[in-house]
Chain A
Amino acid sequence: MKVSLDIPWQRYALIAELAQRCEGKCPQFGKTVLQKMVYLLQEVFHIDCGYDFDIYAYGPFTPQLLQDLDLVEHTGAVKIHPVVSMTGGYEISPGGQAAALIEKGSDFLNKGEVKKAIETLVDEFGHFWAKDLELRSTIIFVQRDSQKQGKLLSADDIVEIVKQIKPKFTNAEIRDAVEELKAKKYLEPVA
């Protein structure tokens, strides 16, 4: 079998691209938002970015993305600043080397379906706070997880499961998010 080196330029470039596109659009493009955006890109828009997400009480998460983010910061393609506010966390913004790194991953980013998916992702989810994205990505994880087990959940079932995992959200908040995702056809099929 031929050995390959496979530097994942496309993953690194994606982080820089999202930082660039979300600048001025996301209320706080931080580490949590990055996790949820890439999760949505893979699950909802079916773009294989090469990440393997697992579920926790704080929603879908992959440590590989944090590892890649560190490297991308080290290349100078993004900057990461601590945020002094009630929410805390970090803010990721494009760095001086963003364009150069994006160019390295241009074969991936310029594919028609990838480009369109990123545009739609940022348009439809870019204005959310981390908390809102976490709720939506968890709802999608719940629905996909059940689907994999051959079980079709109703909207009520989804609300009930998500409420158990995220008790700080009200039933109305969860239901509104379910309905919104259903209306956009990101939550199909639902019983």
Chain B
Amino acid sequence: MAQVEIINVTKRFGKTTALDNVNLDIKDNEFFVLFGPAGAGKTTLLNTIAGIYLPEEGMVKFDGEVMNQVDASHRNVAMVFENYALYPNQTVYENIASPLRSPLYKQDNETIDREVRRVASLLRIDGLLDRLPHQISNGQKQRVAIGRAIIRTPRVLLMDEPLAHLDAKLRNYMRSELKEMQSMFESTVIYVTHDYLEAISLGDRIAIIKEGKIVQVGTRDEIYYTPRNEFVAALVGEPEINIIDGTLVKENGTSYIKLEMKEELVPLPDNHPLTKTLCEYDTNEFHVGFRPQSIDYTFEYKEGYLKGSVYNFESLGNKAVLTVKVGDTFLRTLAPYDLRVQLDIDIYIDAPITKGLFFDSQTTELIGSYDDAKVNGNGTQE
């Protein structure tokens, strides 16, 4: 239950800058996700919010109050660590009870017992209360860690990649369970992950971080349909977006785009603000992104479709990824899981320009897209 502000925070370790002028405004009771690849600075930011690290520059504020001088134990935050950090010589019961036995938040035994059992039942670990951490599975340890964090109803609940060390099946399942529990968390939650499914499923808003800098902040639709740049576009979405070169060509008053793997020119829609923007751009070289979902294919010749060959076919569970080789370009598209296809056979694909995302070829930033139905404003940048 606190609004969290991170203002111009920079954190250095020796010569490395882990966080570079980070600014975030997290609303009260929001489920806020911090998403980025390994080493981006997510855990460092979480530790800074918790008070374990002090930033070299900048401030952390809870409800408008500067917290820099307040140490971790007094900030009333709770954290679920990536490696659980359970006290190894104490039982599950004692681990969960721990915050309520500390001098700052001490409660009487009756209250402690009642709360521990309430939390254990919520997380479905009531049968494990007498066990020691080394006697339970990873999935169970993770629930105990969550239990220890939520028992006090902290102002801010910090979760550091809680699902990282679970196998794929368990991760999917626990993610759904976490989603179910979301309404029960009465705190502002800041959740860190490198898995984009977790990010878009759980987050009210998502901040994408790379090498200590915030790249984009937005809702899942904003991040997915209007990614700020190619990095974000590639990060969110499985299989990864296809990005190819495109050159703008003007002929007889109409604008066309020449895509790297296609000989013919593709006409751009008239009367659309994006066409105008592209024409007036300082260069005519662009990068065009096509999500695999928007690429169509067929095994028989079809007018307007490009000819290529099947380079690879790979199962992704309930669907499959088809990699198609067109000239020197490789494009990924989706196919039904039970498609049986020979490698290297002919295949015809279509990448409709209206579904393309146009990026600046130098800065890699998003210029725009024709698919207005999905676009609801630009992603809010902070």
Chains A and B form a bound pair: no
User: B residues within 8 Å of A by Cβ?
Assistant: none
User: A residues within 8 Å of B by Cβ?
Assistant: none
